[in-house]
Amino acid sequence: MHPLSNPLYKRSLEESDPVLWSQQDLQALVVPGPDPYVSPRGRVPVITHRWPMERIMERLQVMNRHEHSERDIILKIFDLIDFYMRTVGDDRQISVQNHGSRELKVNGESFAIPFHLGCDVDGITVFQLTDSVVRYEERRQLIPDLAASPKKSFAAHDGIYETHVIYPTSTYKKLVVLTGWVPSTTITALKEGHETIEPIILSREVIDVPSKPRCDWNEIDLYQIIAGFIDAGARALALKPWEL
């Protein structure tokens, strides 16, 4: 992949705020990846205490934007994912935590990238969940969210970090799973304001929000994907390709 001109080169610190990045800036940073793309899957654990998740799924089955607030719907999705990812951690006998906000540094200045939920495996970020429907529809923050991953994200080969962001569509009945492959040189170029930059490769998969508690949970895409992300994080932790 050939280097691209850095659209943020010689920007002022104020102009470097990711909220102000234009659609042209974002397009200049990204090239499309595999399409269609299938996110990595993992084994769905046997869940003995199903009722908390069943109740949430039952509520999600009847909730809609016409009769319920967006905040109430997204909180149910957050609760479901938070409960499930901890269940996967217990099954794998590893520590799975929900971390707080991240920051992105551009041209030496820090900018907050808010996430409402982030899944860490022993400190290794494996995916982020955000309710930023408005931000994405306004074409803001999509690339900053992917590029904000620290070096404790799990790494692919040749210094390319694989990072995941999940967010709902405007109906809250579907989830978009974004996978970005971010070269370590790109993160450095953004931080230090280099003239050229390696592109971010971006792919996505659209899946259903789980809302049928009586179905076979082993076949639910979201549960398979979260298990796959956590398993990949655990493998990366075992390899320790970075300095913790």
What would the pLDDT profile of 191-243 be if each residue is shown by its tens digit?
A: 777 888 888 888 889 999 999 999 999 999 999 999 999 998 888 777 654 44
Lowest mean pLDDT among 22-31, 54-63, 74-83, 145-154: 145-154
Type and span of the H or E element at 192: helix 184-192
pTM: 0.82
How do residues 58-74 score in pLDDT, each as one tens digit?
999 999 989 998 889 98
Q: What is the mean pLDDT of the chain?
A: 79
d(CA 38, CA 31): 18
Lowest mean pLDDT among 59-73, 114-128, 173-187, 193-207: 114-128
d(CA 163, CA 189): 18
Q: 102-106 and 96-98: which strand pairing? A: unpaired
d(CA 125, CA 96): 10
Q: 30-32 and 200-208: which strand pairing? A: parallel
